[in-house]
Amino acid sequence: MKHLLSVDDLGGRAGIERMLELTDGFLAVTRREIPKIPALVGKVIVTLFYEDSTRTRLSFETAAKRLSADTMTFSVASSSVKKGESLLDTVQTIEAMGIDAIVVRHGAAGTPHRIVNWTDASVINAGDGRHEHPTQALLDAFTLRRHRQGSLDGTRIAIVGDIVHSRVARSDVKIFNALGADVTLVGPPTLMPESLEDWGANVSYDLDEVLGDVDVVYLLRIQKERIAGGRFPSLREYSARWGLTAQRAARLKPDVVVMHPGPMNRGVEIANDVADADISLITEQVTNGVAVRMAVLYDLLANPTSSERVS
């Protein structure tokens, strides 16, 4: 694998499982007293973020540093992009400095696919528009697998909320399906994709009907701006029909877990107390994010003949 643009690039179930096993090793590294190994000494990794992000960018930079790579942060707010530099010129400028990987986030779907044509470096998609977010999918699968005794086969997962605008939903459906889970998309019809051909997911508009039958409730962020587009009438009405309220959470079977990619809107898609309850894996998702990104960077960049083998 040279680039990670989509969950499809991981090579199906076998490739995904290999990456999750690699992640296990790196999770152990992150728990060492000195959580740093010299696997990517001399490699240069650029984070190129055209959208605001806290956790994903910090997670990639932390992962890179723990592998002893050098990192460069390109943030649009304080760069030549403000002076009108095109994405192509920006990529070629960065490339000219001598780099090994570009971690890119952009508001337009397919931007990482475009960048691949303009650079010899490895390109990692850290979120492109509403398209994909493959490292989020890996960390979600990794987190969930640890709670399901190492297997997602037969696990029933409800992904609830703004599916159509969600890159997390697109990537998660792919990875959960590949690992044998059974996915149901839940939300108002106005937030469902225009076509679910080849998605391999069930659809329900009724959260209460689904909740009794699931092992995992995966909630997506709901944005106020969707009201203006006529997607739903109000946050209050959304929350009443599709929010994981304390009342709904109380009806879940005892072993059900709750996930969220962040950032959360407490009180909208998830009640405050549910977010902090024991059934929530939300902070664990963040912790595992670093290990997953170490695995991805290692897999893409490590020279197999010279680098240290992991645990």
Partner 1 sequence: MSQQFLIRGGSIVDSTRDETRADVLVRDGLVVEVGPNLDSAGAQVLDASGCVVAPGLVDIQVHFREPGREDSETIETGSRAAALGGFTAVVCMPNTNPPLDDAAVVQSVLSRGRQVGLCDVRVAGCITKSRAGRELAPLGELYDIGVRIFTDDGDCVADANLMRRAFEYSSALHGAVIAQHAEDPDLVAGGHMHEGEWSAKLGIPGRPSEAEIVIVARDIALARRTNGRYHVLHLSTAGAADLVRIAKAEGLRVTAECTPQHMTLTDAACEGYDPVFKMNPPLRSEIDRDGVRRALIDGTIDAIATDHAPHAPETKEVPFEEAPPGMLGVETAFAVAHTELVATNILTMRQLVARMSFQPAAIAGFGNEHGRPVAPGERANLVVIDPLATWTVDASKVASKSRNTPWAGRELTGRVRHTLLNGVPTVINQETTK
Which parts of this chain interact with partner 1 (CB under 8 A)? 86-88, 106-111, 113-114, 128-132, 167, 170, 193-199
Nearest to 241 by CA among 265, 273, 205, 210: 205
Shortest Å, Cβ 58 to partner 1: 24
> Rounded to the nearest 10 degrees, how much is the dihedral formed by the CA atoms of 13, 17, 19, 22?
-170
Nearest to 137 by CA among 310, 41, 8, 256: 8
Based on CB atoms, which residue is closest to partner 1, 141 or 169? 169
Q: For residues 222 and 238, what is the distance between their CA atoms, to the nearest angstrom?
A: 9
Other beta carbons less than 10 A from residue 230's beta carbon: 8
Structure tokens at 279: 């059934």
What is the dihedral sign for C-alpha 16, 110, 219, 64? Answer: positive
Shortest Å, Cβ 300 to partner 1: 21
Residue type, 1: M
Based on CB atoms, which residue is closest to partner 1, 230 or 304? 230
Shortest Å, Cβ 128 to partner 1: 7
Helices and strands: H and E segment counts in the chain: 11, 9
Shortest Å, Cβ 87 to partner 1: 6
Shortest Å, Cβ 106 to partner 1: 6
Q: For residues 12 and 23, what is the distance between their CA atoms, to the nearest angstrom?
A: 17
Shortest Å, Cβ 105 to partner 1: 12
Radius of gyration over every alpha carbon of the chain, rounded to an integer in angstroms: 19
Based on CB atoms, which residue is closest to partner 1, 173 or 295? 173
Q: For residues 148 and 278, what is the distance between their CA atoms, to the nearest angstrom?
A: 16
Based on CB atoms, which residue is closest to partner 1, 167 or 293? 167
Q: Are 297 and 19 in contact (CB under 8 A)?
A: no
Shortest Å, Cβ 132 to partner 1: 7
Based on CB atoms, which residue is closest to partner 1, 3 or 170? 170
Based on CB atoms, which residue is closest to partner 1, 5 or 217? 5
Based on CB atoms, which residue is closest to partner 1, 195 or 247? 195
Backbone φ and ψ of 244, nearest 5° = -85, 85
CA end-to-end distance (rounded Å), the chain:
22
